[in-house]
Amino acid sequence: MAHHKISVTVNGSVESVDVPSNMTLLTMLREKLGLTGTKNGCTAGECGACTVFLNGEPVNSCLVLAVECDGAEVRTVESLARNGQLDPIQQSVIDHNAVQCGFCTPGVLISARALLDRNPDPTEEEIRDALVGNLCRCTGYIRILDAVKDAARVGAAPGTGGSR
Amino acid sequence: MDTVETTTPRPHQENAAPRPVGESVTRLDAHEKVTGEAVFADDLQFGPNMLYARIKRSPHPHARILKIDASQALALPGVKTVVTGQSTPGFIGLYLKDRHIFCTDRARFVGDPVAGVAAVTEEIAERALDLIHVEYEVLPPVLDPEDGVRPDAELLHPELGSYEVANFIFPQPGTNIPNLFKIRKGDVDQALSEAAAVVHHTFRVPHVQHVPIEPHVAIAKVDERGRVTLWGSSQSPFAQRNLIASALGISQADLEVVAPYVGGGFGCKAGVSMEALAVAIAMQVRGRPVKLRLTREEEFYTTFVRQGLVAHFTMACDAEGNLTAMDNKFYWDGGAYAEYGVNMTRGAGYSSSGPYDVPNVRTDSFCVYTNHPVGGPMRGFGQPEMQCGLEQCINHLALEIGMDPMDFRRRNCVKEGSNLVTGMKMHATGIGECIEKAAEAIGWGHKDPPSAPHKRRGKGIAAMWKAPAMSPNAGSSAWIEMSEDGKCTLGLGGQELGQGTFTVMAQMAAATLGIPYDWVRIASPVDTKYSPYEWQTVASRLTWSMGNAVVAAAKDARRQILELVARSWEETPEDLDIVNGNVISAKSGRSSSLKGLVVYGLAKPGDQGWIGGPILGRGSFMPTYVTGLDPETGQGQRAVVHYTTGAQAVEVEVDLETGRVQVLRGASAFDMGKAINPDLVNVQMEGGLVQGISTALFECLQLKDGVVRNPSFVDYRIATSADAPRDMQSIIVEVPQDDGPFGARGVGEHSMVPTMPAIANAIHDALGIHPGAPPFTAEKVYLAMVDAGLVK
Amino acid sequence: MREAHPGLPDFDYVRPADLEEASRFLAQNPQTARPFMGGTDTFVRLRDGFWKETRYLVDVKNLDGRSEITFDPQKGLTVGAAVSMNQVVANPRVGSHYSLLAQAAHRVASYQLRTRATLVGNVCNASPAGDTLGACLLFGGVLRVHGVEGFRDEPLASFFQGPGRTALKPGDIVTAIRFPLPVPGSVGHYEKLGRNLLSDLAIVGVTVLGHPDSSTASGYRFHLALASVGPVPVVLPDLLTQAPVTPEALEEAAGQAMESCHPIDDVRGSARYRKLMVRNLSRRALTRVWEGLQSGYRGE
């Protein structure tokens, strides 16, 4: 099987990675770059635990080939906090007890950040719709919805988080 | 050493629990979980020496294994070993040792592990599976528990009589019944013949899956001397150490289990499911870590499932609405191995009256071997399945004699001193208050108009009870080690699954010790080599059991500190206290920071030497009072440690054009004795309610001829962000537990126990149709409406 | 039993320089090469062990001019093959002229999946449950296809041949889907029934497009398409033309939809339920469109 040398910007740093054709972006992040904050829950684009930003839009990284990311810009949960300052959505998730086991949380945070980036003042229906691809078995979701709503109220401090 | 002299008087609060117990402090683990730093088992790094394992599984529900030819697989470059049942002849199991790590002579369910491969990549290991050739003789399967108990049924475990078994499990050799639990209380036949109303219903509750978002993963390494290290996503590091060591014939001291954060468990990561496979494979490739992670599809059919249940209820009351009799027959679909499931059978039996005072009860609770996936513990441990039918019958009976179902429950629910089905006396409980408050919270008795002409609304309620179902002497232990600055590290063996146990343990330690909450660190990950013993993180038992151990350890540390300072100050320990991290004397008004003294001790006056030494508090707890029950009658002194009780009430709206049921609001009220962290209790109640809604409306493992037809998120639907009701109320009721820390008992599982019947009863209220067994899918409800002539 | 692999099977990733090279490569390797765009269906199927013979995945989304939505007030809408579902949903031209298409695209899976999933991919995948197939059919979609012999058009009306089977031949690459201008005053609605509220596949999907028509006795014309009730989408054109549109007539048309489909039992639902839902949801969708036509509603 062919390998490909790709160049990809991950969390602001340019990485040169050698990837086989069938390696997913998820596997590259976790196993080539050691960025284990992004989780593998189903490998089928159903659970959302692997959600990351690809060129500014949230994707299931288990359904993207690493080789497709040559020249792309990827952001993971590890990029949300900057200089010890949490992104407002991270703080809001803590404040609302919207995290339990924490396995879905990285993907939830990316989906939520992406929503707030494109719609700074979402309705509850819009939040539910934006998070429907992030399965959570612990919280019952309402705390997550509230956390997103409150983070929208706070807004994003300049220079923190997101895909801008 | 810093010693601060002050004259601040000691604040004294006699009645309130000491801070921060009872406060909704921020979770200890929240920060690392929102930054992606929290480490889960699959995140651990092992370097290029690691091998990957994959498992060859039986495609047949029941078959004799005639021959396994692995030669082609072994010849594949990159394959390091192929392991079969020949290398692991021992038995494994928690309550009943009926399972081999790999199948030996027969496979008993689709997915049963037949062989394991370790290779340098996961892909090669996967490819090698196709090169292992297994010859089977297909045997007739047992696919229904009621079929399994027939005398002519194919025997799945002919050796049942020879299996090692816990003394409270009663296998029936020569049958497919690995446990039969019976209750015989009063005279059921007489009571039925005198009853004012009798209802009878049968429910066939399907298998469901736990569906943690983190799949199972285990990494095992065996050194040249045969000492084992196992890293995994585990609710039960110590039980795994014990069970796997026993199966392999090695010392527990030579098996170390390291268990980082668990990405959701709900029971499926309790006991041993797939972890022993990784160990058995690693045995053959010593020195190399071997990682086995299950695909989401394997999660659905190869790990523990929540057992299916066929339940027959006959229930009676008198004209005043007093319950007089229950006659129950439960057939649990234990699956291929019942090593854990046998205890669900028992738990359902000793709780088979539901949370009601019933003078005459007859119950036969059968665990039955079938050729289905292995039944194991799941949040509620049999109670959601059993009480699903029971609470629908209660509702029906109330309506039958013209009583409000809420009043009927209120009238019949257990009270302090009630004589329970096992003969045990009920302790103080707040169930009556829970029933009333849950009903009140959804406006019980008022019918709101539906949101559209083609919809109908209804309200339903269900009460519940559940005891920790466990070995009678399941123990806990803890230690507290002080650091130089007075902060402390709390060692414990219970696992953080998301329920917040690390946080509430830190709260209890801080409160007992007298230090701020944020001075407590948890010694994690749990590691059986360094962490103190904990039986398992199951049964909602940690807050109570491990909490007692933590409080004991904190008291021990506190005693040592106070004795040390008292000696130095020439006072008595009884006059001293630790408040906010300072030792304070009520008598002399002296005060000292903990800094230094908790590690270095204190200098004697005039440089004449030292007293004290590093403070290490230790504590342990084990219930000693649970007694055996008679095999024929189920009667005994004390069947369980205690019961947590509660109720849920829901309002639903049914779409008459599609049958879709939407839960508009739900109220949960539970008596957890004392909420150590009220908001963590609230989120347990919310999460449990939504998980309950999910199992009530959507979830069903579709088994056909032993094959799971929907082993993926595409076709096994769970509730999403769109399905959770906005209006969820959580009500905390606190009737203290006499032997609980600060009066607490567990509440983790309970919040999904009454959800299915509460929704079923609400559907009945809306439509006048008994929806029966879950899931109450749109299809099921619509077709029931068609059959009832409600729609066409 | 589906035995899904932990990862994707072996294949080589191929990125052709242009359409000619892509078509040639695909035509030369008819059994072993597959084109892919967003990959959301392709990767899942590969992992599930379908298409065991696949050796090459040919990335056709980065070829020229395929990532745009263009609208011409005379000719209508063109959606490039690499346009994602989210782009379809958010596009103002789609929203104002083809809102039914946006509504259907919005009902596909989840937001993050729709970042990658494409409208053309959904069509080419030819799943009987495809959410957007009905809208594409009722808007008269025509695929622009590049094959070894150059470009040609494939009308959707004759495109679907079975689950996953279409009129495409080895070497064919769809570059865009074009829709003529809708009849003025058109109103559409997509009614989807999943097991849970959002993100599920359709147990039944009903797409309805209606418009005023002075040539009919009723003064209107309705078209209806059904998802998940047959191997290919079921289309009922030209409904409710003969007599005045009344609740009874709508009910009758819904009954006609029910009679026209022959669903099967599967893990998502029984044939019996599906038929009943085709009737009820067709009635609901037809009524919504009818109300819209009377009030100026343009669909969601």
Q: State pLDDT tens for residues B362-413.
A: 999 999 999 999 999 999 999 999 999 999 999 999 999 999 999 999 999 9
Q: Are C241 and C263 part of one and the same domain? A: yes
> Residues 179..198 of C with a Cβ closer than 8 Å to B: which?
193, 195-198
C-alpha to C-alpha distance for B450 and B455, rounded to whole angstroms: 6
In a domain, A150, yes or no: yes
Shortest distance, CA A20 to any CA of chain B (angstroms): 12
In a domain, C5, yes or no: no
Chosen domain end from C124, C156, C179? C179
Q: Provide the 3-class DSSP secondary structure of residue B118.
A: strand
By C-alpha distance, which of B779, B461, B501 is closest to B651? Answer: B461
B308-471+628-787: CATH number: 3.30.365.10
With a threshold of 0.90, tell me whether the complex ipTM lies above it: yes
Contacts of C115 in chain A (CB under 8 A): 54, 57-59
In a domain, C64, yes or no: no
In a domain, A148, yes or no: yes
Say yes or no to pLDDT of B7 above 80. no
In a domain, A162, yes or no: no
Q: Are C194 and C286 part of one and the same domain? A: yes
> Residues 715..734 of B with a Cβ closer than 8 Å to A: which?
718-726, 728
Between chains, do C47 and A60 touch, taking CB under 8 Å as contact? no
Predicted local confidence at residue A154, as pLDDT: 84
Q: Chain C contact for A68, CB < 8 A?
A: yes
Shortest distance, CA C211 to any CA of chain A (angstroms): 30
Q: Are B668 and B687 in contact (CB under 8 A)?
A: no
Size of interface A-B (CB pairs under 8 A): 172
Give the start-end residues of each E strand in chain C: 12-14, 33-36, 56-59, 69-72, 76-80, 142-147, 150-155, 160-162, 165-166, 173-179, 187-193, 204-212, 220-227, 234-239
Question: Quick one: tokens of C22?
Answer: 């892509």
Shortest distance, CA C59 to any CA of chain A (angstroms): 8
Q: Are A59 and A106 part of one and the same domain? A: no
Q: Is the peptide bond before B775 cis (omega within 30 degrees of 0)?
A: yes
Q: How many residues does chain C have?
A: 300
Contacts of B211 in chain A (CB under 8 A): 135, 137
pLDDT tens digits along B548-598? 999 999 999 999 999 999 999 999 999 999 999 999 999 999 999 999 999
C-alpha to C-alpha distance for B220 and B232, rounded to whole angstroms: 8
Confidence of residue C65 (pLDDT cuts 50, 70, 90): low
User: Which DSSP symbol is given to C47?
Assistant: H
Between chains, do B782 and C273 touch, taking CB under 8 Å as contact? yes
Q: Are A135 and A114 part of one and the same domain? A: yes
Contacts of A68 in chain C (CB under 8 A): 13, 39, 59
Phi and psi torsions of B290, nearest 5°: -120, 120
pLDDT tens digits along B668-709? 999 999 999 999 999 999 999 999 999 999 999 999 999 999
How many helices, marked H, and strands, marked E, lie in chain A? 5, 5
Gyration radius (Cα) of chain A, Å: 15
- CATH number of the domain at C213, please: 3.30.390.50
Could you report how far apart the first and last alpha carbons of chain B are, in Å? 84
In a domain, A116, yes or no: yes
Predicted local confidence at residue B3, as pLDDT: 41
Q: Are B538 and B377 in contact (CB under 8 A)?
A: yes
Q: Are C47 and C112 part of one and the same domain? A: no
In a domain, A159, yes or no: no
Q: Are B546 and B534 in contact (CB under 8 A)?
A: yes
Q: Provide the 3-class DSSP secondary structure of residue C109.
A: coil
Question: Quick one: tokens of B779?
Answer: 């299809």
C-alpha to C-alpha distance for B531 and B534, rounded to whole angstroms: 9
CATH topology (fold) of B474-621: Aldehyde Oxidoreductase; domain 4 (3.30.365)
Say yes or no to pLDDT of B741 above 50. yes
Chosen domain end from A46, A79, A112? A79
In a domain, C63, yes or no: no
Q: Are A60 and A11 part of one and the same domain? A: yes
Structural domain range at position C121: 69-179
**Domain range list for chain B:** 46-139+216-293, 308-471+628-787, 474-621
Say yes or no to pLDDT of C274 above 90. yes
Q: Are C69 and C87 in contact (CB under 8 A)?
A: yes
Structural domain range at position A12: 3-79
C-alpha to C-alpha distance for C30 and C46, rounded to whole angstroms: 16
By C-alpha distance, which of C245, C239, C202, C242 is closest to C224? Answer: C239
How many of the other CB atoms lie within 10 Å of CB of B556?
A: 20
Residue of C nearest to B292 (CA): C6
In a domain, A93, yes or no: yes
Return the residue in A138, A144, A145, A149 with the most chain B beta carbons within 10 A, the one to mutate for interface testing.
A138
Predicted local confidence at residue A156, as pLDDT: 53
Say yes or no to pLDDT of B15 above 80. no
Between chains, do A1 and C12 touch, taking CB under 8 Å as contact? yes
- CATH number of the domain at A140, please: 1.10.150.120
> Residues 106..135 of A with a Cβ closer than 8 Å to B: which?
106, 109, 124, 127-129, 131-132, 134-135
Whether the domain at B308-471+628-787 and the domain at B474-621 fall into the same CATH topology: yes
pLDDT tens digits along C140-187? 999 999 999 999 999 999 999 999 999 999 999 999 999 999 999 999
Q: Which of C8, C59, C109 sits opposite A22 (nearest CB)?
A: C8
Between chains, do C112 and A67 touch, taking CB under 8 Å as contact? no
Confidence of residue B11 (pLDDT cuts 50, 70, 90): very low
Confidence of residue B167 (pLDDT cuts 50, 70, 90): very high
In a domain, A164, yes or no: no
The mean per-residue pLDDT over the stretch B302-307 comes to 97
Per cent of chain C over pLDDT 90 is 92
How many of the other CB atoms lie within 10 Å of CB of B102?
A: 25
Q: Are C92 and C132 part of one and the same domain? A: yes
Confidence of residue C25 (pLDDT cuts 50, 70, 90): very high
User: Which DSSP symbol is given to B426?
Assistant: P
Between chains, do C112 and A22 touch, taking CB under 8 Å as contact? no
Q: Are C254 and C286 in contact (CB under 8 A)?
A: yes
Question: Quick one: tokens of C296?
Answer: 């100026």
Q: Is the peptide bond before B774 cis (omega within 30 degrees of 0)?
A: no
Return the residue in B24, B33, B34 with the most chain A beta carbons within 10 A, the one to mutate for interface testing.
B34
Q: Are C208 and C164 part of one and the same domain? A: no
| Class level of CATH domain B46-139+216-293 | alpha beta
- CATH number of the domain at A22, please: 3.10.20.30
Q: Catalytic residue at B400?
A: no
Q: Provide the 3-class DSSP secondary structure of residue C79.
A: strand
DSSP B301-352: HHS-BBPEEEEEEEEEE-TTS-EEEEEEEEEEEEES--TTTHHHHHHHHHTT
Q: Are C152 and C248 part of one and the same domain? A: no
Confidence of residue B14 (pLDDT cuts 50, 70, 90): very low
Question: Quick one: tokens of B759?
Answer: 């929704």
Q: Are A100 and A136 part of one and the same domain? A: yes
Domain count, chain A: 2
The mean per-residue pLDDT over the stretch B442-450 comes to 96
Between chains, do B778 and C195 touch, taking CB under 8 Å as contact? yes
Q: Are B352 and B387 in contact (CB under 8 A)?
A: no
Q: Are C227 and C206 part of one and the same domain? A: yes
Predicted local confidence at residue B2, as pLDDT: 39
Q: Are B500 and B686 in contact (CB under 8 A)?
A: no
- Helix intervals (H) in B290-430: 296-302, 342-350, 383-400, 405-412
Confidence of residue B604 (pLDDT cuts 50, 70, 90): very high
Say yes or no to pLDDT of B744 above 50. yes
Return the residue in A68, A125, A127, A128 with the most chain C beta carbons within 10 A, the one to mutate for interface testing.
A68
Chosen domain end from A59, A79, A99? A79
Q: Provide the 3-class DSSP secondary structure of residue B457.
A: strand
- CATH number of the domain at C117, please: 3.30.465.10
Say yes or no to pLDDT of C298 above 70. no
Return the residue in B657, B690, B782 with the most chain C beta carbons within 10 A, the one to mutate for interface testing.
B657
Q: Are B96 and B344 in contact (CB under 8 A)?
A: no
Q: Mean pLDDT over all residues of chain B?
A: 96
Active-site residue identified among B275, B385, B699, B749: B749
Shortest distance, CA C138 to any CA of chain A (angstroms): 26
Predicted local confidence at residue C66, as pLDDT: 80
By C-alpha distance, which of B378, B397, B418 is closest to B540? Answer: B378
Phi and psi torsions of C110, nearest 5°: -125, 170
Mark the ranges of chain A whose per-residue pLDDT is less than 70. Answer: 156-164
C-alpha to C-alpha distance for C114 and C185, rounded to whole angstroms: 29
Domain count, chain C: 3
User: Which DSSP symbol is given to C211?
Assistant: E
Q: Are A66 and A12 part of one and the same domain? A: yes
B158 CB contacts (<8 Å, ≥6 apart)?
none
Question: Quick one: tokens of C232?
Answer: 């290919």
Q: Are A55 and A111 part of one and the same domain? A: no
> Who wins on pLDDT, B650 or C1?
B650
